[in-house]
Amino acid sequence: MEPSSLPTSPYTIWQTRLRSGDLLLCQGTSPMSQLIQHATQSRWSHVGLLWRLEGLQRVLVLESVESIGVRAVAMEQYVTNYADTGQPYPGIVCVARHTRFPTDAVLLQRLSQEAVTLLGTRYDGREIAGIALRIMGQVLGMPPHAPHANTRLICSEFVQRLYAQVGLDIPYDPRGFIAPKDFATCPDIVVLGAVHDVHATEEPPCP
């Protein structure tokens, strides 16, 4: 489904529906986002993992971004003041959910510990070029590259590492990489709708 065709609701409504383990899927408009879309042949350019802080009534986005690396930022920032610009995220922000995401406290603690351990890990900008080369290699009939372990992480590699902590596997592309589109096309993941910061009366789909 095209991101622009998804039902859209304000964050004030989404906030009460979001769960730890939900995904943030984005279609960005920045040059880097467009490069990722082109390299991965997908409308999706970014993926992050959402985490509820019940005591603070806040939702965090755990993500890896090119300018910083792995970080945690309030979801509210995405739709009101992205990167301290005073404007929403430049593009479309959507929420997705894995239908088999666990609720076991031990597994959730394991995921959150891994997320904290990885905070500050640098972004792997070279991997984007590597993905484009692998796609080109397939066109030229070259054998696919096997997935490799990284000490730097692009957004999809980071979220895949977190999901692995709770026993969820997002299959790599056969060409040897994992991209935001691999989350969007996973049969166990449902894209629920898009988020904006404008007040509206419509509600997101029931979980």
3-state helix, strand, coil in the chain (%, to 5): 35, 25, 40
Instruction: Identify the bridge partners of residue 47 per DSSP, sorted by sequence position.
Output: 25
Kind and range of the H or E element at 54? none
Q: Does residue 184 carry a pLDDT above 70?
A: yes
Q: Provide the pLDDT for residue 200.
A: 43
CA distances from 156 to 14, 27, 57, 123, 184 (A): 23, 14, 26, 11, 11
DSSP string, 95-107: EEEETT----HHH
Kind and range of the H or E element at 71? strand 69-74
Confidence of residue 37 (pLDDT cuts 50, 70, 90): confident
Q: What domains sit in the chain, N to C, each tagged with a CATH number?
A: 3-196 (3.90.1720.10)
The mean pLDDT of the chain is: 83
Cβ partners under 8 Å of residue 87, min gap 6: 81
What CA–CA distance (Å, rounded) separates 16 from 35? 34
Q: Does residue 186 carry a pLDDT above 50?
A: yes
Q: Provide the pLDDT for residue 190.
A: 96
Confidence of residue 173 (pLDDT cuts 50, 70, 90): confident
CA distances from 17 to 11, 12, 72, 156, 205 (A): 10, 10, 20, 23, 9
Least confident range of 1-5, 90-94, 178-182: 1-5
Least confident range of 41-50, 125-134, 182-191: 125-134
Q: Provide the pLDDT for residue 126.
A: 63
Looking at per-residue confidence, does 207 or 14 come out higher? 14
Q: Does residue 175 carry a pLDDT above 80?
A: no
Maximal CA-CA distance, the chain:
54
- pLDDT by residue (tens digit) across 61-111? 999 988 888 999 999 988 888 888 888 899 999 999 999 999 999 999 999
Q: Provide the pLDDT for residue 116.
A: 94
Q: Does residue 193 carry a pLDDT above 90?
A: yes
- pLDDT by residue (tens digit) across 110-146? 999 999 999 998 876 665 555 555 554 444 344 544 5
Q: Provide the pLDDT for residue 54.
A: 84
Predicted TM-score (pTM) of this structure? 0.84
